[in-house]
Amino acid sequence: AGAAAPAEPGVEVELSQLSKPDPLRRTVTADSVASSVDTPHGRTASQKPLIQRQDTSSQGAVPRKHQGGCFGGCGGPEGACDMRGGVYQWSRQFLLLLRRDSVKWVREIPVKGLDFISISIIAAVLGLVKRGDNVNLQGALASVYISYMFLGVLSAVWGVQLISKDLRLSQREAGSSVSSSALFLSVTGLNSCVDVLLRCLMFTVLYHPIVGLKMPWADFFNGTFGVGWSCSGLGYLAGAALPENTSQVFAVAVTFLMGGVLNGVSPTLASIRDAGNNVYLWLMSPSYNRWAAQAMVIKEYEHSGEANKLVEKLELTVQLGYPENGFLAGILFLYVSGAVFRLIALFAYHRRMRG
């Protein structure tokens, strides 16, 4: 019972292998240390660079494959892998930036509340002033264009402030390999889908019933959001392409010129065509208020009573110069112009980040 238990065969083999000297094991001596120090560039074998330059053939450098079997850990050709990896990296950056901007928006709710209160006060005051003018199509035209002029100027100013506020921070982030397009789309996308939408909502909720427009509220909101969309895009463009000390002045000047002067209200489009002033008509073609007023007056005409339909038709086509089927053209101009302004602003923003 006191005898030791016999060892298992596997254990004996392992112990015997450990007891044998390893012929490949190197013993560190003074000669070996001296030979390792004496390298061609005065650097020991343990001090090799982390990234070694690969020998290339005449056809160019061959990038190293990852363990996944392809370039960049993807399963397809090299170009497809690079593209998919770039799209994934851009999407990840965009979502992170969008999340950060959402948190910042929530923290700025008190300031946003002041903006919403100010736009509501402007809507209420303008509605009370223009309420007595809404007796015919010309009165409705005056009520629409004056409100859109104020809304356009404010939307452009808010757009410039949005781009200029974090411009230096965005330049530093773009210098740290953050995509400039992701930076631009995250901040402008959130602003367009939330701020511009809520401001137009607050404006129309008060202005439409106070003035007493005959068109449905949804049609009036459609035109109002189109004005905010177009003018905020102009503000993004001014903030991205111009210096900070001149961008806001430029945005205010252009939106006021297009909304208050080149609007087709005074003089009307009919009187300008009768005078043969084609230059004036050409100058009014890029005006947001010229197309917004046309769309809203046509909707007001469509929802007017049948008793004065003939009189209002003559007023619409002969006195004001608007076609009966011109609503879609006016609305499309607002949304397409806003998209074009944003696209040009994206390229200007990218160049500014690189500079």
Q: Tokens representing 134?
A: 């809404």
**Is the four-CA dihedral 226, 227, 233, 236 of positive or negative sign?**
negative
Burial 133-153 (b: 16+ CB within 10 A, else e): ebeebbbbbbbbbbbbbbbbb
pLDDT at position 5 is 47
Residue 224: C-alpha distances to residues 29, 78, 105, 293, 342 (Å) = 86, 48, 23, 10, 18
pLDDT tens-digit map of 33-88: 344 444 444 444 443 333 333 444 444 444 443 443 333 334 445 455 455 668 88
Average predicted confidence (pLDDT) for the chain: 81
**Residue 259: alpha-carbon gap to chain centroid:** 24
Q: How confident is the model at residue 95 (pLDDT cuts 50, 70, 90)?
A: very high
Secondary structure, 3-state, 82-130: HHHHHHHHHHHHHHHHHHHHHHHHHHCHHHHHHHHHHHHHHHHHHHHHH
Cis peptide before 40 (omega within 30 of 0): no
Residue with tokens 């392409």: 241
For the chain, the maximum distance between any two Cα atoms, rounded to a whole number of angstroms, is: 127
Q: Tokens representing 145?
A: 């264009």
Mean pLDDT of 327-333: 96
DSSP label of 65: P
- For the cut 50, the answer to whether the pLDDT of residue 289 exceeds it is yes
- For the cut 50, the answer to whether the pLDDT of residue 251 exceeds it is yes
Statement: the pTM of the whole predicted model exceeds 0.85 = no
For residues 338 and 232, is the Cβ–Cβ distance under 8 A? Answer: yes
